[in-house]
Structure 1
């Protein structure tokens, strides 16, 4: 183990646009993710002499104070398991020199850590060792499948983040929800607040006072007795947004162990549902390099198609 002293780091143009937590994970190699968040919470990391949040996006010229940390001695990285290698290669929906779109499998976190050997970003960095600036452009819950964008260049990352902030990126999901849906399209505008429990588990609640604005539009695509297949379009991208909004209006997502309905989940588990029925089916945006429109779709996974087939049979 080696002890490093306090460092002052000026953010360059090439580094701008990254989230602070992701940047720290790269420059403090060997430091556990949990410790990164600990020194952020305690204020040991400063940006322009002030505290800031993990999701702050760095700007060129920012001055970072990086505290002394004990860094694990370098070791050879674990080799990506062959089955995951082949699974992820087959799941790449789009790729060029600037970005990559993955059809992320349910159960694969976007980041490793917290007992997980691999996340999507660590795995793809092994699959694409020449893409030295590979970064997540956004996130998906571990149990959600579907379209996940990664940038290969800092310039692409900045452009994608700007598109997200300005609402110029279309994100469409498919969700199976409990209950008998009344009417047609429904827009939900409920502010959300993220909390971390003592166990470290993240929970999100509707909070009209301290929450952040969150907007979701739901369109029923297919109705069944006691269930509905919904299309969800996001205006904002808050943590667990679709899941908490549907819980709040009485239609929790199927297979949701955190915010769901246990009786509904048990019913569908008997029909083969072993995961969250939430899938990022489509993402559309302009290419960060030349501005051409991209529209990328991820097909509904076989296990989710099977549940729908069973519902159709039962309701026929």
Structure 2
């Protein structure tokens, strides 16, 4: 049987397609990937433990030979899968025409290897945990012919703005390494946010360096993060964009990438974000709802990154969505000088 090239696997038809052994040829973009990760990404619906069992027993072969789970694939390798029986899953929720139009209009940058989307608020980046359809699943339905679409990083469900989606694995590797590099001058990525905080931001505070500890909640509750000496090093740079009588519009640039980092660092300086139900002020949040704000005021307003093979930095900007822009318009008459 000739090898299949770049053939995606769908959990809906795994049982029919894998009734017989299958062969797949690795292309240049997949080169360097570990065989276990390669299989997990393609065998949707197969438990990861079963993937490792297949590898241990030698039922998965590469170029007709047994391999370890940490084997890194090379272009031209032929991967053989044994016959598999997997129970069909319910079909995924279908993308509505309305959401499809919103997402299509939200793509603010695209090249051969990358999409940047101005993510709408309220849309999770991926499905699961009660979310039927996330951004990445919706994009895959919107672009059914796309061979590869993977999230480069994440945003909270209620945070709007710039998020990168790789169209090639080589771009995913490059950009995720750049995120780890942290420093834009060394090929890293700069993330820029706009946030509306309660109160007057301290004039002498331009950087918050406070370790953050993520606490696991029981009973399926969402996790919470707090400043703690036991936490991981966390740094955010802040600058004031506009002061109002009771609020401060901030630009935030996270140097590290911890969960809820900007929100918790703002709270740590007694200036929690407006609308933040987890780390904010309840009375202020109730007033914010009357102003039309139904989420925390945090928007990923820009990304700066260096693309593979280039030296110049690319910048992508995402305009404020209507709900956040509306709040600022209401505050126009409350601006302060200085």
TM-score normalised over the length of structure 2: 0.75
| Structure-2 change in CA distance of 1:303 and 1:250 (3 Å) | same
Equivalent position SS for 2:267: helix
Whole-angstrom distance in 1 between the partners of 2:86 and 2:250 = 47
Whole-angstrom distance in 1 between the partners of 2:141 and 2:214 = 32
Matched, 1:248 2:264: no
Matched, 1:305 2:325: yes
Match of 1:294 in 2: 314
Whole-angstrom distance in 1 between the partners of 2:158 and 2:103 = 16
Whole-angstrom distance in 1 between the partners of 2:263 and 2:86 = 37
Instruction: For residue 76 of structure 1, report the CA deviation from its aligned partner.
Output: 4.5
Whole-angstrom distance in 2 between the partners of 1:227 and 1:139 = 27
Matched, 1:164 2:179: yes
Maintained 8 Å contact 1:156/1:289? no
Instruction: For residue 203 of structure 1, report the CA deviation from its aligned partner.
Output: 1.3
Q: Which runs of 5 or more structure 2 residues have no equivalent in the other structure?
A: 1-13, 19-25, 57-68, 74-83, 183-187
* Partner residue of 1:207 out of 212, 225, 228: 228
Whole-angstrom distance in 2 between the partners of 1:60 and 1:229 = 49
Match of 1:230 in 2: 250
Equivalent position SS for 1:173: strand
Whole-angstrom distance in 2 between the partners of 1:256 and 1:70 = 46
**Root mean square deviation, CA, Å:** 3.1
* Partner residue of 1:155 out of 147, 167, 170: 170
Residue by residue over 1:186-233, the C-alpha shift from the partner in whole angstroms, topping out at 9 and shown as x without a partner, is 201111122221133121121212x11111011111111221100001
Whole-angstrom distance in 1 between the partners of 2:157 and 2:40 = 19
Whole-angstrom distance in 1 between the partners of 2:244 and 2:256 = 28
Matched pairs, number? 282
Instruction: Please list, as runs of the form range in 1=range in 2, the aligned pairs for 1:1-316 lying within 5 A after superposition.
Output: 14=30, 26-30=41-45, 61=72, 72-74=87-89, 76-167=91-182, 168-200=188-220, 201-209=222-230, 211-314=231-334
Whole-angstrom distance in 1 between the partners of 2:71 and 2:266 = 39
Whole-angstrom distance in 1 between the partners of 2:112 and 2:193 = 27
Whole-angstrom distance in 2 between the partners of 1:285 and 1:122 = 25
The structure that has the greater radius of gyration is 2
